Amino acid sequence: MATLSDVLEARTAEAAPELVERLDKNRIRCYACGHQCPIPEGGVGVCKVRFVKAGTLHVPWGYVGGIQCDPIEKKPFFHAHPGALAFSFGMLGCDLHCAYCQNWVTSQALRDPAAISPPIDITPASIVADARQLGARVVVSTYNEPLITAEWAAAIFDEARAAGLLTAFVSNGNGTDRVLNYLRPHIDFYKVDLKSFDDRHYRQLGGRIDPILFTIRRLHEMGVWLEIVTLLIPGFNSARDELERLTAFIASVSPDIPWHVTAFHKDYRMADPENTTPEMLMEAAAIAKQAGLRYVYAGNIPGHVGDLENTRCHNCAALLIERYGYLIQRYRLTPDGNCPDCGTAIPGRWGRQFDGQIASTPFLPGGRRLRTF
């Protein structure tokens, strides 16, 4: 019987030339993520889904591990077309191995025998056709780490943009200059998970902090709309000092970058920390505001975090968008994305008008074997 590795090996294409460097001894360096693996003939990268065979770097292609329709607020993007339906797809594998991953069935598919999520063969055209048919405004690469499958995302995004749709990555941000330059012509919005501000913590997750900070700075320089999320895990990244440094870093890149601090719940292999309380989120949000961030949101505990689900004008504090969880309850921005009370331009990518929400909770497109994340 074919293993999952065999199945995925048959679903590959050649890597984009921009993401490849030929080294000595027949090795090929991959630049799709911050690991920058030098891969020998017959070897695989840290992500386990990119491999060298017959002198070629093979990369994932032609399948998804799951598709789901999400409100864009779930990604979360709060300053990018509020209310839009985000047609979301993921592949398999990840370059990190976070013990608390909420998408471990797809992200750890090749590392953990308990993570079984067979691929579904599909084409970019059919993904985009489904997205349009369901009324989606945005196509999102998410669930597993999209950087390690950048070529497949770029192919889908080209098709999506040709059909008038927007495109986004939900990513751990472990990027390189090469992969960000490669993606720039294809991508509109980018969410980075800033999981900690301590390199030792990142090493526990299988990465380093420097590539993540580089990605945040570079995306902002490039003008890609960026929102940052930190899952607040008591005892892991919740120290006041760490949160002060983390939020000061974001503010130093731009005080206009929205920061979402979200609640941890016990998942996958990280069952020791207690769940995050609303008070912890509110305290972290206060630290962020003290650091100078203008748009701070608390997530995963709807209705218990006071005003931290809403968007207020950073100039006059007028209520602009009222939310409960992913539900938009009120929308007041002008067609130009300004505060209706004081006229201040609100950072983000806004539609001319709020078109309502097709859904404020995720749903699966009908008829296909899919799973909830």
Shortest distance (Å) from residue 363 CB to ligand SF4? 31
Q: Which stretch binds ligand SF4 (CB under 6 A): 44-52, 78-86, 132-140, 151-159?
A: 44-52
State the number of binding residues for ligand SF4 (CB under 6 A): 12
Q: Which residues contact 35 (CB under 8 A, 6 or more apart)?
A: 45, 46, 47, 95, 174, 207
Judged by CB under 6 A, the residue of 8, 16, 28, 30 near ligand SF4 is: 30
Sites for ligand SF4 among residues 217-276 (CB under 6 A): none
Shortest distance (Å) from residue 34 CB to ligand SF4? 7
Shortest distance (Å) from residue 226 CB to ligand SF4? 21
Judged by CB under 6 A, the residue of 33, 128, 219, 250 near ligand SF4 is: 33
Judged by CB under 6 A, the residue of 16, 20, 28, 47 near ligand SF4 is: 47
CA 55 to chain centre: 32
Judged by CB under 6 A, the residue of 8, 50, 69, 309 near ligand SF4 is: 50
Q: Which stretch binds ligand SF4 (CB under 6 A): 25-33, 64-72, 107-115, 193-201?
A: 25-33
Q: Which stretch binds ligand SF4 (CB under 6 A): 31-39, 63-71, 332-340, 364-372?
A: 31-39
Neighbouring C-beta atoms of residue 126, cutoff 10 Å: 11
Find the farthest-apart pair of alpha carbons in the chain and give their distance in angstroms, rounded.
66
Neighbouring C-beta atoms of residue 203, cutoff 10 Å: 12
- Residue 46 as a binder of ligand SF4 (CB under 6 A): the answer is yes
Q: Angle 124-133/150-162 helices, nearest 10 degrees? A: 50
Query: Could you tell me the two tokens for 88?
Result: 């979301």
- Residue 148 as a binder of ligand SF4 (CB under 6 A): the answer is yes
- Residue 110 as a binder of ligand SF4 (CB under 6 A): the answer is no
- Residue 180 as a binder of ligand SF4 (CB under 6 A): the answer is no
Angle at 174 between CA 140 and CA 94, to 5 degrees: 65
Given the complex with ligand SF4, which of 47 and 139 has the nearer CB atom?
47
- Residue 309 as a binder of ligand SF4 (CB under 6 A): the answer is no
Measured CA to CA, the distance from residue 145 to residue 148 in angstroms comes to 6
Radius of gyration of the chain (CA): 20
Q: Residue 143 in contact with residue 88, Cβ under 8 Å?
A: yes
Q: Could you give phi then psi for residue 360, rounded to 5 degrees? A: -105, 5
Judged by CB under 6 A, the residue of 5, 36, 315, 338 near ligand SF4 is: 36
Shortest distance (Å) from residue 42 CB to ligand SF4? 14
Given the complex with ligand SF4, which of 73 and 145 has the nearer CB atom?
145
- Residue 58 as a binder of ligand SF4 (CB under 6 A): the answer is no
- Residue 95 as a binder of ligand SF4 (CB under 6 A): the answer is yes
Half-sphere exposure of 87 (CA within 13 A, CB side): 24
Strand boundaries in the chain, DSSP class E: 12-14, 20-22, 28-30, 38-39, 51-53, 56-60, 63-64, 66-71, 85-90, 120-121, 138-141, 166-171, 189-193, 225-232, 259-263, 296-299, 311-312, 319-324, 327-331
Binding footprint of ligand SF4 on the chain (CB under 6 A): 30, 32-33, 35-37, 45-47, 50, 95, 148
